[in-house]
Amino acid sequence: MQTLLRYFRLYFLIEAQYIKARMQYRADFIISSIGMFFTSLATLAVFWVLFQSIPNLAGWNFMEMVFIYAFYMIAISPMQILFDQVWWLRYDVQLGTFLKYYFRPLNMMFYYLSERFDLKGLTQLALGVVLLIYASIKLGIHWGPLNVLLLLAVLFGASLVLISIVTIASCSAFWITNSFPVLNLAWKLREFSPYPMSIFDGAFRFVFTFLLPIGFIAFFPAQLFLRPQEVSPLIYFTPLVGIGLFALTYWIWMLGVNQYTGTGS
């Protein structure tokens, strides 16, 4: 408990310094936030155009897709805001700058990831929350305290699922150095998570549920609030899926860190 509190305090201190440093570049923050805003809305715009031609997608109407997409935007925000540093791992591994983390009296994964706090991700989070509320009103979803708790729990799990998939992809840098193609693949997969899983055939549904569980990032957990009666009870275990995957991620990270010997540059 003591250690946890210490790490919590440290994280706060590190990020406060980081944000102060970033605030020197105010224009960058504004332009990046605008970029984030458009990026977040682009998929929604494509959905909107598509729904001009079809009444529903595998039985899901436009507003339900907005709800699922809003859930998705919130679920991917912790990855964007807190874990953005994983995109730099391949450079640090290649240039050898990663070695300095071996000499700090802190958990390496913690210290490495705390190097960056992505402010523009907050735009995505805010937009997701606004859209979720909007879609809930339009769909007449009732939010009791129990439902809100369930939402927070499954969002926590869904975020961890994405964080784990992307971080594992990033860790491949310890073995193959340039992990960009692997990372890019993981990043692309994430975009398929809001689609109704019923459009896929059996093999793909199996992969997206059990092997690369992107279904847990958005569609499955969002279903709990749209059509709870159609959901397999398994989906209630989303938080456990997330925690389990994150434990696996940590194990792979440690494995990579322990065998990494530098690239000699």
Partner 1 sequence: MKHVRTYWAILRGSMITGLVYRFGFIFTILGNVVYLFVAYFLWHSIYRNSTTLHGLTFNEAFIYVALGSTVFILLKTYAEWSISREINDGKIAVYLTKPLDYQLYWLANNLGFTVTNLVAITVPTVLLLIFVFKVSIPLGPGLLFFPLSLVMAFLISFNIDYAVGLAAFYTESTWGLSMTKEIIVTVLSGALLPLQFFPDAIQKVLLWLPFQTIYYTPLTMIAKPDQGWGVFISMIGVQFAWTVASFVLTRLFYVQAIKVLRVSGG
Footprint of partner 1 on this chain (CB under 8 A)?
Answer: 25, 27-28, 30-36, 38-39, 42, 45-46, 49-50, 52-54, 57-58, 120, 176, 178, 180-182, 184-185, 188-189, 192, 195-196, 199-201, 204
Phi, psi values for residue 186, rounded to 5°: -60, -40
Q: Which is nearer to partner 1, 92 or 156 (CB)?
A: 92
To the nearest whole angstrom, how small is the minimum distance from the Cβ of residue 49 to partner 1? Answer: 6
Cα separation of 87 and 83, whole Å?
A: 9
To the nearest whole angstrom, how small is the minimum distance from the Cβ of residue 27 to partner 1? Answer: 6
Which residue has tokens 């109407």? 61
Which residue has tokens 């194990």? 251
To the nearest whole angstrom, how small is the minimum distance from the Cβ of residue 243 to partner 1? Answer: 26
Name the nearest CA neighbour of 35 among 156, 121, 95, 98. Answer: 121
To the nearest whole angstrom, how small is the minimum distance from the Cβ of residue 145 to partner 1? Answer: 36
User: What one-character-per-residue DSSP string does 16-41 give?
Assistant: HHHHHHHTT-HHHHHHHHHHHHHHHH
To the nearest whole angstrom, how small is the minimum distance from the Cβ of residue 15 to partner 1? Answer: 19
Q: Which is nearer to partner 1, 136 or 193 (CB)?
A: 193
Q: Which is nearer to partner 1, 28 or 240 (CB)?
A: 28
CA distances from 27 to 20, 21, 124, 177 (A): 14, 13, 18, 33
Which residue has tokens 């991917």? 76
Residue type, 79: M
Contact 255, 108 (CB under 8 A): no
Q: Which is nearer to partner 1, 202 or 233 (CB)?
A: 202
Q: Which is nearer to partner 1, 48 or 251 (CB)?
A: 48
Q: Which is nearer to partner 1, 136 or 219 (CB)?
A: 219
To the nearest whole angstrom, how small is the minimum distance from the Cβ of residue 31 to partner 1? Answer: 3
Quick one: three-class SS letters along 228-259? HHHCCHHHHHHHHHHHHHHHHHHHHHHHHHHH
Which residue has tokens 């869904």? 158
